[in-house]
Amino acid sequence: MMKSSKPLVMGILNVTPDSFSDGGRYLSLDAALTQARQLLIDGADIIDVGGESTRPRAESVSLQEEQDRVLPVIQAIRKESPITLSIDTTKYEVAKAAIELGATIINDVSGGQDIRFLSLLEKSLETKIILMHRKGEPKTMQENPYYDLDVVSEVKALLSAKVKMFTEAGISKSRVWIDPGIGFGKTLNHNLDLLRHLKTLIEVGGGIVIGTSRKTFLGTLLKEEKYNGDSREIGTVSSHLWAYQAGASVFRVHDVLAMKRALTTWDAIAYGCI
């Protein structure tokens, strides 16, 4: 039996000085383009370009600074490849400019806080949006995060309301993906609860995006004494495979090759897909 649709691996390309795993590595255009080429070689289905760190305690950056970081990179990648490009931003102006350069996904960690994103989807019919759940702002979101209801119910309610806002405006549900926001205003147990009950979110949007890659909760589980991205890869793959069997379809990762190999192996066992 074949799976109805293949999972998509989204390669992370942070052109920032302060992202938690790779901050500063791809700040120059040459370095960013070299990494984009590697993501392509490794089999990325999507490249997600971000110019503002959203790690816990991160400071915001100006509109001009974010544009200066991401737009040349998107333009350069598009000149070399037809790969699906995603712009990781909460700013309307950045998303609009990125779409004009060839991006077709808006990855909005604020969950649609700027309603002008609706107009971008209305004008660009190929564009999709990822609405992520985030409790608070990056600078303070990990300071004792708390939920009045259980975290799963609260995340589902908020994302359902956000998706409804877009669909009632005439945007097809298939173009509105959701992300429960692992690590964004959540404790270790919040993250585990969301992954454990991920199936309850399947019908909320047009697809589920999961990004556990190298995040702090994995280091906590593995009892790390200090950050080690490589040591978190097995936790990244394990948690994404759990999410895959629960219904997630897009996986945002630093190590594309490891994730592609894991998904290929899973599908070969489950569906005979080789």
pLDDT reading at 111 higher than 60? yes
Active-site residue, selected from the candidate residues 134, 162, 175, 252:
252
The reply to whether 2 falls in a domain is no
Looking at residues 220-242, what average pLDDT do you find?
Answer: 87
Measured CA to CA, the distance from residue 133 to residue 153 in angstroms comes to 12
Residue 4: pLDDT band (50, 70, 90) is low
> How large a percentage of the chain has pLDDT more than 70?
91
Domain range for 58 is 8-271
Higher-scoring residue by pLDDT: 147, 25: 147
How does DSSP assign 122-144, residue by residue?
HH-TT-EEEEE--SS-TTTTTSS
Query: What is the per-residue pLDDT for 186?
Result: 92
Task: Give pTM, 2 decimals.
Answer: 0.92
Phi/psi at 147 (nearest 5 deg)? -125, 130
CB 121, CB 129: distance < 8 Å: yes
The reply to whether 3 falls in a domain is no
Query: What is the per-residue pLDDT for 70?
Result: 97
CATH for 44: 3.20.20.20
The reply to whether 1 falls in a domain is no
The reply to whether 121 falls in a domain is yes
Q: Per 3-state DSSP, what percentage of the chain is helix, strand, and coil (rounded to 5)?
A: 45, 15, 40
pLDDT reading at 250 higher than 70? yes
Query: What is the per-residue pLDDT for 149?
Result: 80
Q: Are strands 176-179 and 209-210 parallel, antiparallel or unpaired?
A: unpaired
pLDDT digits 0-9 by tens, 119-149:
999 999 999 999 999 886 666 656 777 888 8
pLDDT reading at 267 higher than 50? yes
> How large a percentage of the chain has pLDDT more than 90?
77
Phi/psi at 85 (nearest 5 deg)? -110, 135
Active-site residue, selected from the candidate residues 69, 215, 232, 260:
215
Q: Any catalytic annotation for residue 57?
A: no
Q: How does the average pLDDT of the chain come out, rounded?
A: 91
pLDDT digits 0-9 by tens, 169-198:
999 999 999 999 999 989 999 999 999 999
Q: Any catalytic annotation for residue 173?
A: no
Residue 147: is it exposed, middle or buried by C-beta count within 10 angstroms (0-12/13-18/19+)? middle
The reply to whether 233 falls in a domain is yes
- Using left for φ > 0, alpha for ψ between -120 and 50, and beta otherwise, residue 121 falls in alpha
Task: Indicate the number of domains in the chain.
Answer: 1
The residue behind tokens 């990762």 is 253
pLDDT reading at 20 higher than 60? no
Tell me which residue of 104, 95, 81, 96 sits closest to 35, measured CA to CA.
Answer: 81
pLDDT reading at 251 higher than 70? yes
